[in-house]
């Protein structure tokens, strides 16, 4: 606990953006301390990847210009720096990493959150074409890269994203430093790529080493072709207040004192004014560093349990990622202590401090690419350690179904960090605050989406994965993420003053993440629950069927049936039950038999991987879990079917669209059958 | 030996084309006998796949027509049936399976073997455009499907393939039944697909089960869009003899008494005559059956050693495949005997009688797709058992480098089957007849190409694989394959009278195939030689570099370097040596340590698999070995680089073409590095 406070204070004093000298210094410091803690080995692993920085001599900003081209309003060039950090240099101003360069001029169109459905509504109901326009959207609901992609597809020549208080203010909370809301001058940095798991945009599928072939920028994966820029709401008001055009539906209105008119362009009085974006951000191949530490397994050195989280931050990273990095550090320290007392886990444990997560999960993905063969054959589980805290309410866990039982068992052994809950377990505290559903009496566990470093391990490679953090009350707190997300206001102090003054919540998260690692690495039999996977598959099959049944006539006309999927799930369920029965009678004194069973458990997650990938997304290969194509943040079950159903509303050829649904059902049924086969006795 | 004769006689009396009732009967018979031999289990595994048959009421043939459209010559509708088989029904006439239907009319153009270089020569040196023409090519040198693809790419509207005596007659040998040469009325059946490993054309990537989504015929993989038909040389003479146009270069001339003029069309006297193809072949989804037998491994039931060969034949299959199927049968019988004496192998052995190999390796590929997860995790090796004999000279082995040493060790224990070589080992007999090269004193072993059922196991899944058969003297015998290949003359008698009267050669091949299976299944440590892989990789890297160095100026201009590949090979070499040193000191009494080492050995071949596949060939995933895009039969090393170099001569944009070479070198270097990592101690 003390260590974790110290770590957080020490590693959040200076900006440590990926690719900068300061982030290398922190890496060296972490390496040094991990060695001192007693790991068997610690190494720095560099890659040369495409990053993106503002041009220091030509700042990015957005202007309103009059008919002579004079700038009558300019957005701010930086956020007001929080007290105590005034003399810090190298604070990168808010920008959209990997934005195209350019100075497009034109009329604004407001498109709500910039979701697929927002653009549909704009085009179909409001009859507005954004070709050649600059769109302005509010942050929230979906990953910003999806907003940019939607704007490009709609023909926009630029996109501005702003933080609306409706989405980044909690009720009755003051802006930082008096509270933890986002000040009006704050803005959200972030990359605007559509990588779909590719990692470094220039070396998709392969690690970005010295000898690696690099695509040209034109052929790079997921790079937007239009300028993009983020602003805070003080600036947004100035762009929005004079907008003309239709009055939007209520659910398009945020909380600013403007009408949120759609445009295009300004009202009559300001008709001659246009908006110009001035974006000079540069892409450049830059060296990044992962720090990789290891404890060699005593009996099964070729089985890997991985705890990884990123180190790079947009600015100080008080929450994202250092509240998580502190947890990794703490876990390494504990493991080192145990090692010095003669303990050694059955399996190998790997600790990772990833670089360049903020630029598209790049450090973790390159390392996964570099080690792809080893991971495929040997990795038991990957536990992610990004921000340990995003709220003050209770635990949040997203993980693969086979880890559910382990998470429940473990959290029953951990104390609640909440005041007034002495003697109450984390499980009970969590359960009380976030029960799963009406039909299941257990704390809620969610599906993994994407947006953090587990992506390549889980969605590309099929390694059982999970993440845990402290979160808000999602029933009462409607804002997206936490208000100061990716702003300069993510300081050590915001955690110390508001999110976790006693550091007990961080400690609880550390106990969950660390506990998972220790149990996965040291149990003779892997603590993976295959029956739980069966239950989840059934639930997912029911839910995707319900989604399809919104189109009962087409289901009939095109003879769409989910029977094969349910039959596969049934098959899987029986196989899972039989496997767990076998485990009861296993001779645990026979090392080969134990290994064979553990292999079956370990490789189950791998069985859901389709090397052909999801349609158009070759690096998203998990047939059961992946983000939809419309929002990288949200994990969908049966994402191939989900996307095919989504596309029906957008298809000029419904028969073809329904054929794709049928094809995806068939792939899902096959995959579940194939996974069931891996659970039956091996010969 | 006796069993093998009986088997061959019994299973070659009736035609047993894939999808016919007779082939199902043979499957049932094999299943029954394997059960009687004592396997632990035998099952029939059906799939519903796209096959292709001549239309029974509208025969396929080719006509010469006069200007009124009258047929002045028609090719024969069937081959003269060999003595003793006159009353056999269901002999399918010669046809090109999966030909498009149609009756194209036009002028003929003769294009030698129809290779990429032949079409280049035709277009660039002879200035002949085949758009709208019917091309006629001789069989041989490359896979017939590649000829068809080349004809389509060149714009031909039909393609005729004939067997030229230059390619299907051995010197001083009589045509069957007096010798083993191809009679003038014989023709070569065969599929003309370009599947590139996809298996069933309608279900690429997934097993063709009842619930599986099927593409429409238009979207099927590799189906030719033009009519195709094979003829014998008696018919070919009639099509060729009056052809006009240029006199071809000498290496375009076959051994018929015609001038081999290029065309287009006939000489002046016959100018008004055209050629019409009449092709009515039907594609239809048809049920096929693999027979799968198993012996459960005593200690490692989850490790699979596979012996598989096909059962379906174009007609009787006297050589292809029954000479090979007999070997599988014999091996099952031997294994059964051992089992009855209390023996049980350490690992599981799987025996397979594949269906529909002749239609594109379909049965074996569907089963590989069905069991893909199990095979990826558990398969140690796949040994192929197609035709055991294609000549009378010596042994031929194609296998992955890690099996070389095992093949040599094993053949030293087997007796030569040749008369007058009593007391001589198969190794010595083989070595004497086919020494590798000047710089290596050992019998030649070749790279695996494709064209038989190991393809999905080796090239898609990365399972160590090999094949062995008896072959001709390739220095003196210039004909392609064996003369009666895929004709009605492949009878039991041709083997009994000419190829192997004592059945000793078949027995030797059985000992090689069976011996490999038994040693792979029962050795405590897997008998795979990783050092040999290192040696081979170095040789391949040198040879691909030499190929590139045919373009020294471009190599310099585009900065093409193979250094990264050689550095990876060096890395691999050191890792391989270290691994074999570790094996020396391994504690063989520790079952977990033995398993860990064996896993490293087993997964080495898997490490060469790139899930992204080779460019445009998603199911060819082995970075070290695959056929080139220009000839499915020949195995190339570093096929990605090879194809990229091949494409340089054909590219309108040399810079782009060389960029692709560089990209492929980078992928090869990465893959070899990644494979080397799997050989180093696991943590």
Helix-helix angle B654-679:B591-606, to 10 degrees: 170
pLDDT value, residue B1: 52
Chain B touched by A587 (CB under 8 Å)? no
Q: Are B52 and B99 in contact (CB under 8 A)?
A: yes
Chain B touched by A599 (CB under 8 Å)? yes
pTM above 0.80, yes or no: yes
Q: Across the interface, do A296 and B683 touch by the CB < 8 Å criterion?
A: yes
pLDDT value, residue A471: 97
Nearest-CA distance B29 → chain A (Å): 23
In what side-by-side order are the strands of the sheet with B228-231?
B108-110, B134-138, B158-162, B228-231
Angle at A518 between CA A512 and CA A520, to 5 degrees: 100
Question: Residue B513: in which H helix or E strand, if any?
Answer: helix B504-522
pLDDT value, residue A649: 85
Chain B touched by A378 (CB under 8 Å)? yes
Given the DSSP bridges, would you call strands B134-138 and B158-162 parallel, antiparallel or unpaired?
A: parallel
Disruptive mutation site among B43, B196, B199, B211 for chain A (greatest number of A CBs within 10 Å): B211
Q: Across the interface, do B206 and A600 touch by the CB < 8 Å criterion?
A: no
Chain A touched by B302 (CB under 8 Å)? yes
pLDDT of B185 strictly over 80: yes
Tell me the per-residue pLDDT of A271-315, one tens digit each, with 9 for 90 and over.
Answer: 999 999 999 999 999 999 999 999 999 999 999 999 999 999 999
How many CB atoms are closer than 10 A to CB B219?
A: 12
- Partners of A566 on chain B (C-beta within 8 Å) are none
Q: Are B42 and B352 in contact (CB under 8 A)?
A: no
- Partners of A301 on chain B (C-beta within 8 Å) are 596, 681-683
Nearest Cβ partner for B674 among A212, A372, A621: A372
Q: How many angstroms separate the CA atoms of A592 and A594, rounded?
A: 5
pLDDT of A1 strictly over 60: no
CA atoms within 13 A on the CB side of B313: 35
Chain A touched by B680 (CB under 8 Å)? no
Residue B14 structure tokens: 């009736």
Disruptive mutation site among B197, B670, B671, B681 for chain A (greatest number of A CBs within 10 Å): B670
Which residues 180-209 on chain B approach chain A with CB closer than 8 angstroms? Answer: 205-207, 209
Tell me the per-residue pLDDT of B432-458, one tens digit each, with 9 for 90 and over.
Answer: 999 987 778 999 999 999 999 999 999
Q: Say how many Å lie between the first and final Cα of chain A, rounded.
A: 50
Confidence of residue A650 (pLDDT cuts 50, 70, 90): confident
Cβ burial B601-635 (10 Å sphere, 16+ → b, else e): bbbbbbbbbbbbbbbebbbbbbbbbbbbbbbbbbb
Q: Across the interface, do A212 and B612 touch by the CB < 8 Å criterion?
A: no
- Partners of A206 on chain B (C-beta within 8 Å) are 666-667, 670
**Which residues does A265 contact at the CB level (< 8 Å), separation at least 6?**
A107, A108, A243, A244, A245, A271, A274
Nearest Cβ partner for B596 among A207, A296, A302: A302
Q: Which residues of B are known to be catalytic?
A: 357, 561, 599, 622
Q: Across the interface, do A592 and B621 touch by the CB < 8 Å criterion?
A: no
Q: How many angstroms separate the CA atoms of B585 and B576, rounded?
A: 15
Nearest-CA distance B42 → chain A (Å): 12
Tell me the per-residue pLDDT of A393-438, one tens digit each, with 9 for 90 and over.
Answer: 999 999 999 999 999 999 999 999 999 999 999 999 999 999 987 7
The mean pLDDT of B51-73, rounded to a whole number, is 97
Q: Across the interface, do B662 and A213 touch by the CB < 8 Å criterion?
A: yes
The mean pLDDT of B15-22, rounded to a whole number, is 98
Phi/psi of residue A374, nearest 5 degrees:
-65, -45
Confidence of residue A3 (pLDDT cuts 50, 70, 90): low
Q: Helix (H, G, I), strand (E, B), or coil: what is residue B278?
A: strand
Tell me the per-residue pLDDT of B278-321, one tens digit each, with 9 for 90 and over.
Answer: 999 999 999 999 999 999 999 999 999 999 999 999 999 999 99
Which residues 230-289 on chain B approach chain A with CB closer than 8 angstroms? Answer: none
Phi/psi of residue B115, nearest 5 degrees:
-80, 165
Using alpha carbons, select from B81, B102, B609, B84 the residue that is nearest to residue B375. B609
Nearest-CA distance A220 → chain B (Å): 14
Nearest-CA distance A609 → chain B (Å): 9
Find the closest chain B residue to A564 by CA distance.
B211
Q: Across the interface, do B683 and A205 touch by the CB < 8 Å criterion?
A: no
pLDDT of A349 strictly over 70: yes
Please report the sign of the dihedral spanned by the C-alpha atoms of residue A536, residue A537, residue A542, residue A545: positive
ipTM over 0.85: yes
- How does DSSP classify residue B102? B
Angle at B517 between CA B516 and CA B522, to 5 degrees: 105
Tell me the per-residue pLDDT of B326-339, one tens digit each, with 9 for 90 and over.
Answer: 999 999 999 999 99
Using alpha carbons, select from A344, A128, A342 the residue that is nearest to residue A248. A128
Q: How many angstroms separate the CA atoms of A529 and A579, rounded?
A: 10
Q: Which residues of A are known to be catalytic?
A: 357, 561, 599, 622
Chain A touched by B115 (CB under 8 Å)? no
pLDDT of B3 strictly over 80: no
Nearest-CA distance A616 → chain B (Å): 13
Looking at every residue in chain A, the average pLDDT score rounds to 97
- Partners of A366 on chain B (C-beta within 8 Å) are none
Q: Say how many Å lie between the first and final Cα of chain B, rounded.
A: 50
Chain B touched by A506 (CB under 8 Å)? no
- Partners of B596 on chain A (C-beta within 8 Å) are 300-302
The percentage of residues in chain B with a pLDDT greater than 90, rounded to a whole number, is 95
- Partners of B595 on chain A (C-beta within 8 Å) are 592, 595
């Amino acid at each position: 606990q003390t260590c974790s406070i110290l770590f957080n204070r020490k590693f959040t004093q200076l900006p440590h953006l990926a690719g900068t000298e300061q982030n290398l210094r922190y890496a060296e410091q972490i390496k040094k301390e991990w060695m001192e803690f007693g790991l068997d080995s610690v190494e720095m692993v560099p890659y040369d990847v495409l990053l993106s920085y503002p041009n220091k001599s030509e700042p990015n900003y957005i202007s309103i210009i009059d008919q002579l081209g004079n700038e009558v309003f300019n957005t701010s060039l930086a956020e007001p720096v929080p007290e105590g950090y005034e003399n810090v240099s190298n604070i990168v101003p808010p920008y959209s990493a990997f934005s195209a360069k350019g100075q497009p001029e034109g009329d604004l169109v407001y498109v709500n959150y910039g979701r697929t459905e927002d653009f549909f509504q704009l085009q179909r109901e409001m009859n507005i074409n954004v070709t050649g326009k600059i769109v302005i959207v509010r942050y929230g609901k979906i990953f910003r890269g999806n907003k940019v992609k939607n704007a490009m597809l709609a023909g926009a020549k630029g996109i501005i994203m702003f933080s609306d208080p409706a989405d980044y203010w909690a009720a009755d909370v003051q802006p930082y430093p008096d509270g933890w809301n986002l000040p009006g001058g704050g803005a959200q940095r972030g990359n605007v790529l559509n990588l779909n798991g590719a990692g470094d945009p220039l070396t998709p599928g392969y690690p970005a080493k010295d000898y690696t072939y690099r695509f040209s920028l034109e052929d790079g994966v997921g790079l937007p072709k239009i300028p993009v820029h983020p602003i805070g709401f003080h600036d947004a008001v100035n762009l929005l207040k004079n907008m003309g055009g239709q009055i939007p539906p209520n659910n398009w209105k945020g909380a600013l004192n403007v009408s949120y008119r759609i445009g295009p362009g300004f009202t009559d009085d300001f008709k001659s004014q246009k908006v110009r974006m001035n974006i000079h951000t540069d892409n450049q191949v830059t060296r990044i560093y992962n720090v990789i530490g290891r404890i060699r397994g005593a009996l099964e050195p070729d089985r890997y349990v991985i705890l990884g989280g990123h180190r790079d931050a947009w600015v100080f990273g008080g929450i994202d990622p250092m509240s998580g990095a502190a947890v990794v550090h703490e876990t390494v320290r504990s493991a080192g202590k145990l090692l010095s007392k003669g303990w050694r886990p059955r399996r190998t444990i790997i600790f990772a401090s990833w670089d360049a997560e903020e630029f598209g999960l790049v450090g973790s993905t390159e390392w996964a690419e570099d080690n792809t063969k080893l991971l495929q054959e040997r990795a038991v589980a990957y536990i992610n350690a990004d921000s340990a805290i995003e709220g003050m309410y209770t635990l949040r866990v997203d993980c693969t179904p086979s880890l559910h039982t382990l998470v429940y068992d473990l959290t029953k052994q951990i104390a609640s960090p909440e005041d007034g809950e002495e003697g109450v377990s984390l499980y009970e505290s969590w359960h009380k605050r976030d029960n799963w559903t009406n039909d299941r009496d257990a704390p809620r566990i969610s599906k993994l989406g994407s947006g953090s470093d587990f992506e390549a391990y889980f969605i590309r490679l099929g390694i059982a994965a999970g993440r845990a953090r402290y979160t808000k009350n999602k029933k009462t707190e409607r804002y997206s993420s936490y208000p100061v997300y990716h702003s300069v206001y993510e300081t050590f102090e915001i955690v110390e003053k508001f999110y976790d003054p006693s550091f007990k919540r961080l400690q609880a998260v550390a106990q969950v993440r660390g506990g998972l690692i220790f149990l996965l690495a040291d149990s003779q039999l892997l603590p993976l629950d295959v029956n739980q996977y069966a239950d989840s598959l059934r639930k997912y099959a029911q839910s995707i069927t319900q989604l399809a049944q919104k189109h009962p006539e087409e289901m009939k006309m095109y003879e769409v049936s989910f029977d094969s999927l349910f039959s596969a799930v049934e098959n899987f369920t029986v196989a899972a039950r039989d496997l767990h029965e076998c485990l009861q009678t296993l001779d645990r004194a026979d090392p080969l038999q134990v290994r064979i069973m553990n292999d079956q458990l370990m490789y189950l997650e791998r069985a859901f991987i389709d090397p052909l990938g999801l349609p158009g997304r070759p690096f998203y290969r998990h047939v059961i879990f992946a983000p939809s194509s419309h929002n990288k943040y949200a994990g969908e079950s049966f994402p191939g079917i989900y996307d095919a159903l989504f596309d029906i509303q957008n298809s000029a050829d419904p028969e073809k669209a329904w054929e794709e649904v049928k094809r995806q059902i068939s792939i899902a049924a096959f995959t579940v059958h194939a996974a069931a086969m891996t659970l039956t006795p091996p010969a």
